[in-house]
Amino acid sequence: MDLHRIPKLKNLDSNNFFLLAGPCAIEGESMALRIAEKVVSITDKLQIPYIFKGSFKKANRSRIDSFTGIGNEKALKILQKVSETFDIPTVTDIHENEDANLAAEYVDVLQIPAFLVRQTDLVVAAAKTDRIVNLKKGQFMSPEAMQHAVKKVKDSGNDKVMITDRGTMFGYQDMIVDFRGIPTMREYATTVLDVTHSLQQPNQSSGVTGGRPDMIETISRAGVVNKVDGLFIETHFDPANAKSDGANMLDLKYLQQLLENLVAIRQTINRLK
């Protein structure tokens, strides 16, 4: 997909990877604006094309008492305000068919969660909004299987589609990234590596998903070396107290150094023939 088709996406001539980053969930207006302001300042400095990420609701929770959101329209309006304030595109995930039209009024990219990427009606509903569709690869799917999800979007009259890899199940409580899948999926669509979700440790006995944020730079570096088009990183200024996925998010204070290192790697890769 031509990234120039994503509204408000800047720094496209830098030949950098693009970045989807933000909190797991929208917890409130001030936190969303605070995170976006910091990431925008970093990505503008490094000339990285940037899309702000935030879930307007969390439907796939481990426990019934887990945080699910602050209200659909309230969260979506915050995403819209982030976009307008910083002149950047936004992405959020949808879980039900009716979410597609609702979210499309406020954001530029609709994301299909990994657990739901085989749900044909949901994929088609997202495609028919004419927004960019980001398909998360199911943890249970091969890279080759994603060509069929991409085809569903295109057969619905929308060729603005991306794939995001978020790792593959490795036993019951761990994930692993098979980097052989990146060139395969790039044959089908623009491909993103979801670094932080690839480091989740789901199915813990506590009912709270764990993670390995200490490995974020390792996975990110490998993704850039393997020429992934974009990186997906959830980040928060206080991961320990985040309402969702705090265990695998990157502390915002470490983001600039990480991206500086990754840009340096990308520049080296670009020079190789």
Distance CA 271, CA 273 (A): 7
CA–CA separation, 126 vs 13, rounded Å? 29
- Tell which wins on pLDDT, 167 or 59: 167
> What token pair was written down for 252?
């915002």
Q: How confident is the model at residue 59 (pLDDT cuts 50, 70, 90)?
A: confident
Under DSSP, the state recorded for 267 is: H
Asked whether the beta carbons of 266 and 16 are under 8 A apart, the reply is yes
| Domain residue spans of the chain | 3-271
Q: What are phi and psi of 32, to 5 degrees?
A: -65, -45
CB 20 within 8 A of CB 191: no
pLDDT digits (tens, 9 = 90+) for 123-182: 999 999 999 999 999 999 999 999 999 999 999 999 999 999 999 988 888 889 999 999
Question: Tell me, what's the pLDDT at 34?
Answer: 98
Identify the band that residue 63 occupies on the pLDDT scale cut at 50, 70 and 90: confident
Task: Give percent of the chain above pLDDT 90.
Answer: 82
pLDDT in tens, 175-219: 899 999 999 999 999 999 999 999 977 655 555 566 787 999 999
**Model pLDDT, residue 207:** 55
Report the mean per-residue pLDDT for the chain.
93
Q: How confident is the model over 85-117, as pLDDT tens digits? A: 999 999 999 999 999 999 999 999 999 999 999
Q: Read off the pLDDT of each residue in 41-59 and give the average, rounded to a whole number.
A: 96
Strands (E), the chain: 18-22, 50-53, 90-93, 109-112, 132-136, 161-165, 168-169, 175-176, 190-194, 200-201, 210-211, 230-236, 250-251
Q: In the prediction, which pLDDT does 209 show?
A: 64
pTM of the model: 0.94
pLDDT value of residue 62: 66
List the one residue out of 232, 221, 238 whose CA is nearest residue 190: 232
* CATH 2.40.50.140 assigned to 3-271: no
Q: What is the pLDDT of residue 66?
A: 78
Query: Radius of gyration of the chain from Cα atoms?
Result: 17
